[in-house]
């Protein structure tokens, strides 16, 4: 049930305008009328309306110009055109320009009620989709800000602790830097009696016992080791144990005491990075589920495309990092479809031009959703450009040839292959050899010919 909305009826025949406004008031809407475009525009400037119902041909300012001017004042206003002179071409142009529907005169009371109801339902659905995208974007922004703030608060240190406190350095790397500086044969971090991380040789039982004592007393302790000397310094709920052949002098012991305190920060950073990765996986899973829950014909598509993209990346020799980025982009490439109406995604037939335009917006919407997530920065251009064509006829930016990021060009191929071999609303899936033949036919126009050739070997 759509809540009452404000409607402005505009017709140069006052009797018709007054009658239509009365009908809409009777249907529970807050309806007013005007008899020319200029008067209507003044009302719109003084008070916003949700729906504009306007005659197409009026003296002074016609209906399409009124709609254009009204949207300069209020971009959110929807429009319904009524006319006695509509041709098919005029109607199509009105729909292309964002008009919800058109109604040909003469019409009955029930016809205008249905047309207005349809326009308001479409408005309600559009605003729900916009709200869903906005809410999802706000959630991922809040999650990212929270995690980044916690890491930032813990990584404010100096000098020797610069490496330990680095947001990019892992715990093992911090221990490795410290071990080399101390020229230790072994550096072991314990927590609650268990070894958490180690660089070099394993700690012997005597060293682990010294670690336990250091953690219990909160003091730096030194003792003999199987092949030299061991020193232990308390770190959080455990200890840092360094061993080497020659004894540690006082300056090194002080350095180890400072480093062990700062190492607690590295331990927490490592834990936060793990939290951030887990949160990222959760966000990604939520995004994927949100997309594929809307499209019953595409369930599993993102997973299949990701699996195929990994095989393709391995074949063309991408680095492990590049492969990881491509796989993530493949999982998220259709996330922008959350902003596409379900009836278009599930339509059992070919799409109209207007419906296809709605589909074509999904790469840009996807990039916008991912923009707040800095850890997905490398995936955003792949998501945005996975529908570009090699000859420049694709969307959204008309990139061509080498202008298209190579991972996006690869994703375009595997995305198309899975789409062709999967059941669609209007056809069964194609055999793989038929799909590969179509890729070959489109090499040099829709797809990068070198990548198509590489894909053929999978």
Task: Name the band, by pLDDT with cuts 50, 70 and 90, for residue 85.
Answer: low
pLDDT at 150 over 60: no
Residue 394, pLDDT score: 95
CA pseudo-torsion sign 148, 154, 158, 160: negative
pLDDT score for 223: 84
Greater model confidence, 154 or 196: 196
Give the other-Cβ count within 10 Å of 84's Cβ: 11
For residue 70, pLDDT over 70 is answered with yes
CB 411 within 8 A of CB 402: no
Element (H, E) at 34: strand 30-34
Phi, psi of 425 (to 5 degrees): -60, -30
Higher-pLDDT residue of 402 and 175 is 402
* Coil, strand or helix at 6: strand
Calculate the alpha carbon distances from 214 to 189, 237, 267 in Å: 12, 10, 18
Per DSSP, the three-state class of 232 is: strand
Could you tell me the domains of the chain?
Answer: 6-128 (3.40.50.2300), 161-272 (3.30.450.30), 295-456 (1.10.3210.10)
- Asked whether the beta carbons of 116 and 80 are under 8 A apart, the reply is yes
Asked if 305 and 330 touch (Cβ cutoff 8 Å), the reply is: yes
More confident residue, 148 or 17: 17
More confident residue, 385 or 28: 385
Q: What is the mean pLDDT of residues 61-67?
A: 87
| Residue 249: predicted pLDDT | 78
Token code pair at residue 30: 């807050």
Question: pTM of the full predicted structure?
Answer: 0.45
pLDDT tens sequence across 99-124: 777 777 777 888 888 888 888 887 88
Q: Which of 413, 414, 407, 336 is nearest to 378 (CA)?
A: 407
Greater confidence (75 vs 275) lies with 75
pLDDT for residue 236 is more than 80: no
Mean of the pLDDT values across residues 287-312? 76
Q: What is the pLDDT of residue 284?
A: 65
57 with 15: CB under 8 angstroms?
no
Confidence of residue 155 (pLDDT cuts 50, 70, 90): very low
pLDDT tier for residue 454 given thresholds of 50, 70 and 90: very high
Q: What share of the chain is helix, strand, coil (3-state, %, to 5)?
A: 60, 15, 30
Between 193 and 17, whose confidence is greater? 17
Task: Calculate mean pLDDT across residues 345-359.
Answer: 82
Strand, coil or helix: 439: helix
With 80 as the cut, is the pLDDT of residue 446 above it? yes
Q: How far apart are CA 329 and CA 305, in angstroms?
A: 10
Q: Assign 103 to helix, strand or coil.
A: strand
Q: Which residues have C-beta within 8 Å of that of residue 188, sequence separation ≥ 6?
A: 195, 197, 198, 199, 202, 203, 207, 208, 211, 240, 241
Q: What is the dihedral of CA 36, 38, 43, 45, to 10 degrees?
A: 150
**Residue 123 to residues 51, 90, 98, 137: CA-CA distances in angstroms?**
9, 22, 12, 21
Looking at 103-194, list the stretches that DSSP marks H as alpha helix, in order from N- to C-terminal side: 109-154, 161-164, 171-182
Among the residue ranges 148-162, 290-304, 389-403, the one predicted with the least confidence is 148-162
Q: What's the rounded mean pLDDT across residues 419-443?
A: 86
Pairing of strands 78-83, 51-55: parallel
Residue 146 is predicted with a pLDDT of 55
pLDDT of residue 156: 29
């Amino acid at each position: 049930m759509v809540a009452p909305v404000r409607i402005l009826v505009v017709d140069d025949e006052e009797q018709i305008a007054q009658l239509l406004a009365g009908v809409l008031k009777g249907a529970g809407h807050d309806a007013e009328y005007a008899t020319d475009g200029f008067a209507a525009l003044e009302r719109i400037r003084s008070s916003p309306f949700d729906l504009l119902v306007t005659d197409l041909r009026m003296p002074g300012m016609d209906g399409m110009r009124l709609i254009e001017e009204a949207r300069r004042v209020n971009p959110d206003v929807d429009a319904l055109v009524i006319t006695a002179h509509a041709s098919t071409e005029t109607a199509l142009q009105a729909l292309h320009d964002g008009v919800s529907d058109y109604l040909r005169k003469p019409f009955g009371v029930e016809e205008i009620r249905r047309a207005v109801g349809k326009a308001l339902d479409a408005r309600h659905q559009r605003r729900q989709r916009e709200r869903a995208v906005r809410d999802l974007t706000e959630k991922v922004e809040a999650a990212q800000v929270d995690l980044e703030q916690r890491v930032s608060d813990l990584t404010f240190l100096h000098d020797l602790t610069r490496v330990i406190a680095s947001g990019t350095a892992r715990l093992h790397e911090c221990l490795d830097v410290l071990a080399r500086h101390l020229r230790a044969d072994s550096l072991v971090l314990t927590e609650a009696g268990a070894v958490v991380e180690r660089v070099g040789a394993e700690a012997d039982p005597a060293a682990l016992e010294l670690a336990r004592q250091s953690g219990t007393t909160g003091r730096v302790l030194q003792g003999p080791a199987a092949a030299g000397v061991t020193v232990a310094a308390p770190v959080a709920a455990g200890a840092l144990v360094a061993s080497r052949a020659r004894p540690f002098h006082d300056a090194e012991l002080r350095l180890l005491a400072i480093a062990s305190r700062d190492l607690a920060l590295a331990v927490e950073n490592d834990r936060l990075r793990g939290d951030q990765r887990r949160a990222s996986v959760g966000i990604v899973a939520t995004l994927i589920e949100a997309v594929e829950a809307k499209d019953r014909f595409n369930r599993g598509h993102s997973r299949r495309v990701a699996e195929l993209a990994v095989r393709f990346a391995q074949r063309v020799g991408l680095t492990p990092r590049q492969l990881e980025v491509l796989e993530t982009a493949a999982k998220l490439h259709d996330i922008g479809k959350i902003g596409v109406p379900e009836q278009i995604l599930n339509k059992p037939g070919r799409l109209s031009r207007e419906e296809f335009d709605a589909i074509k917006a999904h790469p840009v919407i996807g990039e916008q959703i991912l923009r707040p997530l800095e850890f997905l920065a490398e995936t955003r251009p792949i998501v945005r450009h996975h529908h570009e064509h090699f000859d420049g006829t694709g969307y959204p930016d008309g990139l061509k040839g080498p202008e298209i990021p190579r991972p996006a060009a690869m994703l375009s191929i595997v995305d198309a292959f899975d789409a062709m071999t999967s059941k669609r609303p209007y056809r069964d899936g194609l055999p793989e050899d038929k799909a590969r033949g179509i890729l070959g036919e489109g090499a040099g126009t829709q797809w990068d010919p070198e990548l198509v050739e590489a894909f053929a070997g999978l």
